[in-house]
Structure 1
Amino acid sequence: MKKVQPQEQLDWASEQKRFCVSAMLRAVSATTLVKHRPGLGQTIRPVRGSILASPEMASYDPKPDYFFHWLRDSALVADALREAIEDETLEPSGVEHLVDFVAFSLKLCRLDGPTFLRQGGYPEAVEQSFQQHLRPRAEIGAIVGDKILGEARHNADGGLDVMKWGRPQNDGPALRALAVMRFFALDAFRARAAEAALTLLRYDLDYTLSHWRLPCCDLWEENIGFHYHTRLVQQAALAEGAAFLAAAGDAKRASACAKAASALLAALDSHFDAEDGVYRPRLPEDGLNASALRRLDIAVVLAAIHAGRRAGPHSVTDPKMLATFFALERLFEEEYPINQGRPADRAPALGRYAGDSYFSGGAYYFSTLGAAQFCFLLAQAAAEGEEIAVTKESRAPLAAILQTPAAALPQAGKIGEALAEAALRRGDMYLATVRRFTPASRELSEQFSQLDGAPTSADNLTWSYACFVTALAARQRAAKAMGDARVS
């Protein structure tokens, strides 16, 4: 098989992956760090099992304060740690981090607002400038029962977040359920934490069962509604949870999960825009203007990755998903100056959506690495013989990946080997772009500027590091499936 990427870049990617694992670990059980928030009169000392979204001591000065344990981010990072253990980038003792993560997460599931208030958790000495950002006592007091699982984030000491934020967020429990089920592949984890993990899994699946019909805040924590990303990871968690619980002898809960997963799969189809041939990130609703309704959003592509769907509707092989991915490529190729005039061996840097105004509104590492992982997953699927349908939606995307005229494409089932090679090569082109905009320090921020590629927004975003690890793990599996021994 012909060489799809220079060995030098594979070597760089391997070194960067090791750096990313080390950088992630700075945010995991960061018990030596102390975060002071004078405006709230808070001092936060992380406890074991917590995972910081960023270990930096920023306070919107101008870098954002991400010194929190986000349910979503922590689940993605924990899953990346599992990947690193499986491919031996992280030593086997790293399983302790997963055990601690489960124990900490269980404690969070058992929090409630009234107890938090009685124990003096609500800040009293709050500076005037912070008053506008403080959640009312009544809102904290209303956090009872399973409402705690809809909290977007917690302080890393295990306390409630008292700041106003986008709530509820219902993707976190689903993503955590998916991660925890994957932990069971590790013998050492099962030996240490099987019972606790099963209890946590039931918390997360029960919450998802109770809330999948309800609107919530989106992946970007900006809008309340019915969101493609949330729905797809919920569907995946319930579908996989049904099989997992059935094997564990929990037939009643398994049946409920399977029924809800089927309903969610049908609901996801309603996000398809037949006119433009793409999946939309949210459904039409009152007050949503036409431009917002027709928005393209990388959250759709990330949903397919986070859900881990190997084939079929709403996976990387779905013609409609391929069309959405292709449309996002073209969007950012045209919108970002850093994508203009780039070398032929680099793919475009990707952001979240057109018109993004958060900090630089630029490219994101997790978006661009997500595109790389998408391509590697597609390569693996093609190499393993999954049917890749050539339809009116997928013809142009497949032609672009294969670098062939659309009219020359054969029918489904005849492009597997060629597509595997081409998709792996396309993923490598995204890695080349990430390399181009990775500083000499190897540190990954949240964004890099669409104007000049300079790091912006939060420094050392743990999610950025996790995305690099999972993208490289996906490449390794794709290369193995293709019979390629040159694995980073």
Structure 2
Amino acid sequence: MSVSRLNKLVFLVLLIVLFHSSYAQPWKESLEEWIPKEMERSFQGIFYNIDPPGGIPGSVTAADSHYQPDYYYNWIRDAAITMDVVVTLYERATEPAQVKKLEDILKSYVHYNYIIQRTPNPTGNLTTGGLGAAHYLLNGSAFTGPWCSVENDGPALRAVAVMRFAKEYLRRHGDLSYVKKWIFNNETHPPTTVTRADLDYIAKVWPDPCCGPWETFFVVHFWDQLLVRKALLQGSKFAEMLGYMDASSYYLKQAKELTSNMSKFISHVHGVVLESIDAPRDTIHETFMDTSTILAVLYGYNDDGFYAPENPYVMNTANLLRLIYKDLFPVNRRRTTDEGVLFGRFPNDNYDGIATGNGVKGNPWFLCTLGMARYYFELAKRFSEYATLNISSRWMLPLLEHLQTSYFKLNPSMPSTFHVGETLQKPQLCQIAQALLTEADKILYSVYRHVPDSGMLTEEINRYTGFEQGAKNLTWSYDSFVTAVWSRNYSFNTFRTNCVLV
């Protein structure tokens, strides 16, 4: 074959790749038609990864992936996020058989975690820091390989999920003696229950550095701090409910100290929430901008106004992440007007789902992208609920102005500009809420375009081709799709109830 013919063939192949990457998923159906099908596929993925082959009851694999990468382990964080989804299903269940099945899954999860909490690992044992281990083998054995493995988000997320289960279990007339035997009692030397161990651990170690959600930097992370705060506050109320007042007071005291320490994550110069303030300023994480700050709000907000979705710094962080990623990934630069932005972990990510290191470029992640969609749905719900809202900070303006430019610039009922100190009235809030719902749906559209017909969700989307990449059947990706759609349903219902557009 001549060089010219070879060059033409290469060019043709590149054109085909570019064409298919721009239209990775043919739009054979509308978003409304696709969502229920992908919900069903996501639940299949979640429950397949609970009690997986080779695992003991209660274990949850992070992904059905054994090689490049090997994620066939029980990550404490990922498993807790998954079980939080199961608890929601348990709360909503009405059929006795379904209630029993979900209850058995959750009890097995509690028992599995009781076992691994007492399994010595490279970070320690039950009383010497072992609860900070990132992950375990599915059979309950310790992972002994090299890893960034002091992770305080796992115990916090696990505590929240198990407390939710316990409260619903008791509401359904479950046995209090079960809760005190397995979940929480007053025995502390050593703790003999799962959630008591978790809460005592995070109450002690919250000021310390750890590896964070991406397991890249050993520093103090916003993500961990907000999750631990929520767990301690809810743990205080849970201990009080069970009559353990000393524990309740201790957790509340630690939560208040943590709360007073969290203003340091605000950059008043740039108007954003920083992922951390003490990470090394190198080429990997030089901006301190990270999608995990928005995920922290989703998983760690405690419904008390502290770092709420409408917090000006949170709003501006979300908007700045959109501005960063819309041009960073080539696949985003080819998106249609119907598509939203695909989001990665942080701008200079050097892990692509298979390899990591110098010269490796990160990709969009499903869980990050779906998390951003969920954030916009949550923000839309809150704007729908307000009767009025004051623009209290200039850092609210960039996102509001983006929505104005993109969605309602021709609407005569909306102001041409927004101003600090201005009080938004109900019609304006409803217009903003509608724009946020549209923005979130566009992000879901982008996800749809990059999911194959099988509905399988991996960890990542290739930044160039738009095809799936990395660990297949990632449990957290399925969790993220389910929770994003739940937020979507709730937000649209809230909008319809509270907003009559003029």
TM (norm. structure 1) is 0.83
Deviates more, 1:464-473 or 1:243-252: 243-252
The verdict on how the C-alpha distance between 1:480 and 1:250 changes in structure 2, with shifts beyond 3 A counting, is farther
The structure 2 residue matched to 1:217, chosen from 205, 211, 217, is 211
Are 2:301 and 2:307, in contact at CA under 8 Å, matched by a contact in 1? Answer: no
Cα deviation per residue 1:128-163 (whole Å; 9 max; x = unaligned)?
xxxxxxxxxxx47x5452412100000010010011
Secondary structure in structure 1 of the residue aligned to 2:131: helix
Q: Give the Cα separation in 1 of the matches to 2:129 and 2:157.
A: 17
For 1:29, the equivalent position in structure 2 comes to 51
Deviates more, 1:418-427 or 1:365-374: 418-427
For 2:107, the equivalent position in structure 1 comes to 99
Is the aligned partner of 1:82 residue 2:112? no
Is the aligned partner of 1:471 residue 2:457? no
Alpha-carbon distance, 1:289 to partner: 4.3
Is the aligned partner of 1:444 residue 2:457? yes
For 1:15, the equivalent position in structure 2 comes to 37
For 1:434, the equivalent position in structure 2 comes to 447
Alpha-carbon distance, 1:347 to partner: 1.0
For 1:197, the equivalent position in structure 2 comes to 183
Cα deviation per residue 1:61-92 (whole Å; 9 max; x = unaligned)?
xx200010000000011112223444559943
For 2:394, the equivalent position in structure 1 comes to 392
Secondary structure in structure 1 of the residue aligned to 2:456: coil
For 1:279, the equivalent position in structure 2 comes to 273
Q: Which runs of 5+ in 1 are unaligned?
A: 1-6, 34-44, 114-138
Secondary structure in structure 2 of the residue aligned to 1:179: helix
Q: Give the Cα separation in 2 of the matches to 1:311 and 1:318.
A: 12
Are 2:285 and 2:349, in contact at CA under 8 Å, matched by a contact in 1? Answer: no
Q: Give the Cα separation in 2 of the matches to 1:75 and 1:298.
A: 20
TM (norm. structure 2) is 0.81
The verdict on how the C-alpha distance between 1:386 and 1:301 changes in structure 2, with shifts beyond 3 A counting, is farther
The structure 2 residue matched to 1:460, chosen from 470, 473, 483, is 473
For 2:158, the equivalent position in structure 1 comes to 176
Among the aligned pairs, what percent are the same residue? 25
Alpha-carbon distance, 1:484 to partner: 6.1
Q: Give the Cα separation in 1 of the matches to 2:301 and 2:265.
A: 19
Report the AA paired with residue 13 of structure 1.
I
Alpha-carbon distance, 1:336 to partner: 0.7
Are 2:332 and 2:342, in contact at CA under 8 Å, matched by a contact in 1? Answer: yes
Secondary structure in structure 1 of the residue aligned to 2:270: coil
Q: Which runs of 5+ in 2 are unaligned?
A: 1-28, 185-192, 353-360, 410-414
Alpha-carbon distance, 1:408 to partner: 2.6
Are 1:79 and 1:179, in contact at CA under 8 Å, matched by a contact in 2? Answer: yes
Q: Give the Cα separation in 2 of the matches to 1:220 and 1:397.
A: 26
Alpha-carbon distance, 1:399 to partner: 2.6
Alpha-carbon distance, 1:283 to partner: 1.2
The verdict on how the C-alpha distance between 1:381 and 1:450 changes in structure 2, with shifts beyond 3 A counting, is same
Alignment of 1:394-409 (within 5 A): 394-402=396-404, 403-404=407-408, 408-409=417-418
Alpha-carbon distance, 1:483 to partner: 3.5
For 2:310, the equivalent position in structure 1 comes to 317
RMSD: 2.5
Alpha-carbon distance, 1:324 to partner: 0.4
Q: Give the Cα separation in 2 of the matches to 1:336 and 1:234.
A: 33
For 1:372, the equivalent position in structure 2 comes to 373
For 2:74, the equivalent position in structure 1 comes to 69
For 1:52, the equivalent position in structure 2 comes to 61
Cα deviation per residue 1:31-72 (whole Å; 9 max; x = unaligned)?
xx2xxxxxxxxxxx310000000123x23xxx2000100000
Are 2:285 and 2:346, in contact at CA under 8 Å, matched by a contact in 1? Answer: no
Q: Give the Cα separation in 2 of the matches to 1:246 and 1:413.
A: 40
Q: Give the Cα separation in 2 of the matches to 1:303 and 1:352.
A: 13
Are 1:18 and 1:89, in contact at CA under 8 Å, matched by a contact in 2? Answer: no
Are 1:229 and 1:281, in contact at CA under 8 Å, matched by a contact in 2? Answer: yes
Are 2:378 and 2:487, in contact at CA under 8 Å, matched by a contact in 1? Answer: yes
Alpha-carbon distance, 1:244 to partner: 2.0
Cα deviation per residue 1:404-454 (whole Å; 9 max; x = unaligned)?
568533734524323332222221111111111111110000001111211
The verdict on how the C-alpha distance between 1:226 and 1:190 changes in structure 2, with shifts beyond 3 A counting, is farther
Alpha-carbon distance, 1:187 to partner: 4.1
For 1:298, the equivalent position in structure 2 comes to 291
Alpha-carbon distance, 1:232 to partner: 0.8
For 1:40, the equivalent position in structure 2 comes to none
Deviates more, 1:72-81 or 1:84-93: 84-93
Alpha-carbon distance, 1:316 to partner: 0.9
Are 1:17 and 1:468, in contact at CA under 8 Å, matched by a contact in 2? Answer: yes
Secondary structure in structure 1 of the residue aligned to 2:285: helix
Q: Give the Cα separation in 2 of the matches to 1:459 and 1:71.
A: 19
For 1:166, the equivalent position in structure 2 comes to 148
Report the AA paired with residue 163 of structure 2.
M
Deviates more, 1:459-468 or 1:258-267: 258-267
Q: Give the Cα separation in 2 of the matches to 1:388 and 1:257.
A: 33
Are 2:408 and 2:431, in contact at CA under 8 Å, matched by a contact in 1? Answer: no
The verdict on how the C-alpha distance between 1:65 and 1:369 changes in structure 2, with shifts beyond 3 A counting, is same
Report the AA paired with residue 316 of structure 1.
P
Alpha-carbon distance, 1:290 to partner: 8.7
Look at both structures and tell me which one has the larger radius of gyration over its CA atoms. Answer: 2
Q: Give the Cα separation in 2 of the matches to 1:447 and 1:88.
A: 32
Q: Give the Cα separation in 2 of the matches to 1:284 and 1:251.
A: 36
The verdict on how the C-alpha distance between 1:388 and 1:354 changes in structure 2, with shifts beyond 3 A counting, is farther
Q: Give the Cα separation in 2 of the matches to 1:171 and 1:282.
A: 15
Are 1:281 and 1:296, in contact at CA under 8 Å, matched by a contact in 2? Answer: yes
The structure 2 residue matched to 1:417, chosen from 430, 444, 447, is 430
